[in-house]
Structure 1
Amino acid sequence: MSPALRLGIVGFSLIGVCYGFARFAFGLFLPEIDADLALGPALSGVISGGSFLGYCLAIVGSAYLTERIGARAVAVSAALVAAVGMAGIAMAPNAFWLASAVMLAGSSTGLASPPMAAAVAAAVRRDRQDKTNSTINAGTSVGVALSGPVALAIGGQWRLAFAAFAAAALVLAIATARCVPSATSRSATAGVLPPINDDVARLIMAAFIMGAASTAIWSFGGQLATLRLGWGTTGIGLLWIAIGAAGIAGAGAGSLVGRFGIDRVHWGFLGAMAVSILAVGSGLATPGTTIAGGALFGAAYVMLTGVYLIWGVTALSDRPATGLMVGFLTIAIGQTAGAPLFGLLLDALGPNVTAMIFAGIAMTAGLARVNRRAPQPQ
């Protein structure tokens, strides 16, 4: 097995554990966590937003450290932080402890992505980098898809699930230490904030809005299914399996962008995200539309994050870790704002109106278009 292939497999797995387990599995188990700890929608939104806030703080430090001390050390740290955070969730006796652990676990995702972009830039041929990056990014989907069967197998015992997830993260830390190169940036601008040129500003606008809209499903998909359909652990587990399995399509982001360009792919999958939010949360939701909407959301979200990854790395081609950081950080800032807002609106307006508002928010991200004068990915 070539070093590049090993890197792709380990990177795919690292993203799957950090994003699928440490960050997004919280929404899967939220109804059971809410029942045990009496959180309520508003507090659930604040705690979920804390996960995204942890990501925001970590990804900035990760990009800086990757350029200074190398990809391997930062990637291993991501796996270890995920393990500690998820172990903390498993042991949480109250809402404050839970919020702290969720924030720590969520920060692992911020640590994970920049070193993988730097490692790909160092170890993979240039003509294969977009496809490799988008494939690694799709690891999110496998993590989400696997968390669903775990929930079904253990009957919603969320403490046991997060303990198992923490153990998986420890195993992955060892594999990461063996397979990820210690790549550092040779750019003279390493450690300096990137220039906010026109194309970077457009990326920031789009990523923020999409991130805010995505919390309708990531943070409240399980709650919406419970409110609309009375679903328990089994139904919500199936929804998460659908989200994760369909998200594998996001591995094709590099190929689609190369064929159709960023703008067309961006618009198309923002529309898919808007439809998915309505399918799960509107007054017309049925079991069939909810599962289909979850699948559509999974494909749309992972595809869109792949678009922003390529957009950022292209806009800052001499600093791939920082280019990825700009787009992914802004997604998380949007999620930090979007989760509490969704929770408040859900309390005040109910699921139907809130879902329509967030579907509309998703579509406004398409107003940001790639600067035609900027270099396009090949």
Structure 2
Amino acid sequence: MTYFQSLSAAGFAATAISFGPGRMGFGLFVPEFKATFAMSDTTVGLVSGLGFLGFFVALLLAQAMLGRKGPRAPVALGLLAASIGMALVSLAQGVPTLALGVFLAGSSAGFAWTPFNDAVHRKIRDMNRPKALAEISTGTSLGVALAGLAALGLIATDLSWRACWAGFAVASLIALAANWAALREVEPGGAPRPRTAWDELCHAAALPLFAVAFVYGTTSAIYISFAADHLRAAGGTLGLPASATPGLVFVIYGLCGLAGLATARINAAIGLATLLRLLMVAGAGSLALVALIPGTWAGLVLSAGLQGLHVMMVSAVLASWSERLFPALPSLSFTAALLATAGGSMIGPALAGVAADTFGTKAMFLASAALPGALTLALRPAGIRERAAMLDDLEPG
């Protein structure tokens, strides 16, 4: 196996674990958690928000570790946190232990994301970088789909959800070993980042980027936390037991997310502003469908599919958009966009849980759908192009 292949395979495994069961697993098993621990929607929102807090903290730690230790250390730490967190979830006897496990498991995505961009940039030839990054990013979608299949497998075998989380922990340890071996050749490197680097990101031209990232993080976290449980409570879909609904939602979500691999081509064909507006409409439609037509095949398939497409394609847009705005700070600018995403992801589920308990789940989803809907109206194509052009003319600091 060539180094290109081993690095791509290791990155695929890391993203599959960290963005599959690590980041999405709590939402996948919310019905089981609510039944086992007698959790209200408010509690579900708070625990989910803790998982995204782990993602937020890990992004900052990974960025700090990357320059001094290289990508191996943050990726390994993330997969170790995922293993411990998933094991804690499998053993949890109360909400505090469950919340700690979700926090640790959720942090793995923050540790694993930007280090692989750095490793590919420094160890893979220019002509092979797009392919390597595409293969690594595919792990996200397939990891979500495989987590959904694991949940469906529990129904077929009548095993406990605890067995599934124990299996996730073992898979994370295997991914840790693979990444420890594959990343040993990627040494720390790169020039020290100037102290003013973060200040350079505080530019008016970047406001649309951070606004999109924040709303995206808010609504995607709400969907992950509550949609599968709401669709199950509505009776599932005709011909399948209601208990199969969450697994089916995440399988469709993950498979439709593979559309993210075509983001660059679509962006080149229709432009950034048009693409963003279409993606915000997809996100709003996904949330609205959960509220308006749950308990139907059309509602489930369209909602999960649109959400998967929305999440994976917006993620790809944030990476390319941040690099376009700040070409001298590609890793740091992407981290800043992800921090805005993580901020929305922490706040969104917590507020949504309170809203669901106060006003009802349907009202909560409709209100959530209004966020990307309003942002769609606010995104003016000319404004985005003007702001991008402003930063193109700036001298790097």
TM-score (normalizing by structure 2): 0.88
Residue in structure 2 matched with residue 331 of structure 1 by the alignment: 341
The Cα of 1:229 is off from its aligned counterpart by 2.6
Residue in structure 2 matched with residue 106 of structure 1 by the alignment: 106
Note if contact 1:281-1:352 (Cα within 8 Å) is conserved in structure 2: yes
The Cα of 1:222 is off from its aligned counterpart by 1.5
Note if contact 2:293-2:299 (Cα within 8 Å) is conserved in structure 1: no
Residue in structure 2 matched with residue 221 of structure 1 by the alignment: 227
2:193 aligned to 171, 186, 189, which one? 189
Residue in structure 1 matched with residue 388 of structure 2 by the alignment: 372
The Cα of 1:3 is off from its aligned counterpart by 2.6
Rounded Cα–Cα distance in structure 2 between residues aligned with 1:177 and 1:199: 39
Note if contact 2:324-2:388 (Cα within 8 Å) is conserved in structure 1: no
Residue in structure 1 matched with residue 177 of structure 2 by the alignment: 174
- The answer to whether the aligner puts 1:351 opposite 2:354 as a matched pair is no
Note if contact 2:287-2:303 (Cα within 8 Å) is conserved in structure 1: yes
CA spacing shift, 1:364–1:248, aligned 2, 3 Å: same
Give the fraction of aligned pairs with identical amino acids, expressed as a percent. Answer: 27
Alignment RMSD: 2.2
Rounded Cα–Cα distance in structure 2 between residues aligned with 1:69 and 1:199: 32
Query: Which consecutive aligned stretches of 4+ in structure 1 deviate over 6 angstroms post-superposition?
Result: none
TM-score (normalizing by structure 1): 0.92
CA spacing shift, 1:92–1:192, aligned 2, 3 Å: farther
Report Cα offsets for 1:81-139 as digits up to 9, x if no partner: 11111111111110011111111111111101110111122133446645644553342
Residue in structure 2 matched with residue 50 of structure 1 by the alignment: 50
Equivalence map 1:4-153=2 (5 Å): 4-126=4-126, 129=129, 132-153=132-153
Structure 1 window deviating more from structure 2 (252-261 vs 13-22): it is: 252-261
Paired positions, count: 376
- The answer to whether the aligner puts 1:322 opposite 2:321 as a matched pair is no
- The answer to whether the aligner puts 1:275 opposite 2:285 as a matched pair is yes
The Cα of 1:13 is off from its aligned counterpart by 2.1
Secondary structure class of the residue paired with 1:257: helix
Rounded Cα–Cα distance in structure 2 between residues aligned with 1:318 and 1:68: 19
The Cα of 1:320 is off from its aligned counterpart by 3.4
Rounded Cα–Cα distance in structure 1 between residues aligned with 2:164 and 2:370: 34
Secondary structure class of the residue paired with 2:191: coil
Rounded Cα–Cα distance in structure 2 between residues aligned with 1:338 and 1:6: 37
Note if contact 2:234-2:294 (Cα within 8 Å) is conserved in structure 1: no
The Cα of 1:342 is off from its aligned counterpart by 1.2
Structure 1 window deviating more from structure 2 (304-313 vs 46-55): it is: 304-313
Note if contact 1:86-1:105 (Cα within 8 Å) is conserved in structure 2: yes
Note if contact 1:243-1:295 (Cα within 8 Å) is conserved in structure 2: yes
Q: Which runs of 5+ in 1 are unaligned?
A: none
Partner letter of residue 141 of structure 1?
S
Residue in structure 2 matched with residue 202 of structure 1 by the alignment: 208
Q: Which runs of 5+ in 2 are unaligned?
A: none
Residue in structure 2 matched with residue 246 of structure 1 by the alignment: 256
The Cα of 1:183 is off from its aligned counterpart by 4.8
Report Cα offsets for 1:290-310 as digits up to 9, x if no partner: 122101111111111111122
Structure 1 window deviating more from structure 2 (349-358 vs 294-303): it is: 349-358
Rounded Cα–Cα distance in structure 1 between residues aligned with 2:102 and 2:358: 25
Note if contact 2:71-2:186 (Cα within 8 Å) is conserved in structure 1: yes
Rounded Cα–Cα distance in structure 2 between residues aligned with 1:154 and 1:70: 39
Rounded Cα–Cα distance in structure 2 between residues aligned with 1:299 and 1:135: 17
The Cα of 1:289 is off from its aligned counterpart by 1.5
The Cα of 1:284 is off from its aligned counterpart by 6.3
- The answer to whether the aligner puts 1:287 opposite 2:297 as a matched pair is yes
Note if contact 1:242-1:298 (Cα within 8 Å) is conserved in structure 2: yes
Rounded Cα–Cα distance in structure 2 between residues aligned with 1:281 and 1:6: 44
Partner letter of residue 361 of structure 2?
P
Note if contact 1:68-1:191 (Cα within 8 Å) is conserved in structure 2: no
1:158 aligned to 161, 170, 175, which one? 161
